[in-house]
Amino acid sequence: MSKLDFSPIADTTRRAEIVALLRRAILTGQLEPGQKLNELRISEQMRVSRAPLREAMRELVQEGILASIPYAGTFVIDVAAKDIVDAYSLNKVLDDFAIELTWPQRDQRFFDELDRRHEAVKQATRSLDTTRQIEAALRLHGLIYEWADNSVLLETWQRLTSRLQMYFALHQRARNEPVPAEDLHETYVALLKGTDMRAAQRHAREHIDDDFEELLAFARGLEERASKGAERRR
């Protein structure tokens, strides 16, 4: 009996690869909100028929980052200021819950992984690669969800994260300069290692509120652009 246990091999369907490609394009902001996805054009670019592409798009619609209107087209979702407010306020509630569930389950492996991901954030920050920085920060943040041992909660957070990542990417793209925000994670990690759960929860809430103001101001700007930019869908 071998000690080694293998993980399932990667999905080898075109569909899965298309999903990954499209998701990345959307979450990094390469595909802008409101933009229409032309099936024929994309399928030709990817050297793939429309069938797997369409199936991939259906998945992303359900994932909440694409929106489909029958016979009209499939579009990258529009980002309204209210959406960001909504997502953030729910995120706060979920954070609270995730910390509560994770708290009694913290062990050495948890702390190690926490450090590992924190390190990844620092490194990404140094590299000035904003996309990677966002991904790393979200991965750090996601640890409490992975550790909470509640599959429904984890899945819910991952859906929420897709949007948050999109919002952040747009934000970054608009500002076009990296954000430091390092020390915030420093205290976050420290509190998760500590003994005061309430303090950790409180910090998570406040931590969120910090970047929030800035992001929201940006969102209101987007809102104006979007209201008169319906014709951008082409």
Partner DNA sequence: CCTTGTTAGATTGTCGACAACCTGCTTATC
Partner DNA sequence: GATAAGCAGGTTGTCGACAATCTAACAAGG
146 binds, among a second copy, DNA, none (CB under 5 to 8 A by kind): none
Find the binder of a second copy among 20, 24, 38, 89 (CB under 8 A).
89
> Cα separation of 55 and 71, whole Å?
16
Which residues here bind DNA, judged by CB under 7 A? 12-15, 36-40, 47-52, 54-55, 68, 70-74
Task: At 229, list the tokens.
Answer: 């930019």
> Cα separation of 121 and 141, whole Å?
10
Task: At 84, list the tokens.
Answer: 């960001």
36 binds, among DNA, a second copy, none (CB under 5 to 8 A by kind): DNA
Q: Is 54 among the residues that bind a second copy (CB under 8 A)?
A: yes
Binding region for a second copy (CB under 8 A) out of 38-46, 90-98, 123-131, 137-145: 90-98
Q: Is 181 among the residues that bind a second copy (CB under 8 A)?
A: no
Q: Is 63 among the residues that bind a second copy (CB under 8 A)?
A: yes
Q: Is 51 among the residues that bind a second copy (CB under 8 A)?
A: yes
Strand partners, 79: none
Find the binder of a second copy among 83, 113, 211, 223 (CB under 8 A).
83
Query: How many residues are present in the chain?
Result: 234
Residue 202's closest CA among 151, 210, 121, 105?
A: 210
Q: Is 87 among the residues that bind a second copy (CB under 8 A)?
A: yes
Q: 66-69 and 36-37: which strand pairing?
A: unpaired
Task: At 218, list the tokens.
Answer: 């940006």
What stretches of 28-181 show up as alpha helix (H) in DSSP? 39-46, 50-63, 81-102, 108-127, 130-147, 151-175
Find the binder of a second copy among 122, 159, 205, 233 (CB under 8 A).
159
Q: Is 104 among the residues that bind a second copy (CB under 8 A)?
A: no
Q: Is 58 among the residues that bind a second copy (CB under 8 A)?
A: yes
Angle between helices 151-175 and 197-227 (to 10 degrees): 50
- Report the SS3 class of residue 41: helix
Place of tokens 């959406």: 83
Binding region for a second copy (CB under 8 A) out of 64-72, 108-116, 127-135, 181-189: 64-72
In the complex, the smallest distance separating the C-beta of residue 175 from a second copy, rounded to whole angstroms, is 24
Can you give the binding site for a second copy, defined by CB under 8 A?
11-13, 15-16, 51, 54-55, 58-59, 61-64, 70-71, 82-83, 86-87, 89-90, 93-94, 96-97, 150-153, 155-156, 159-160, 163
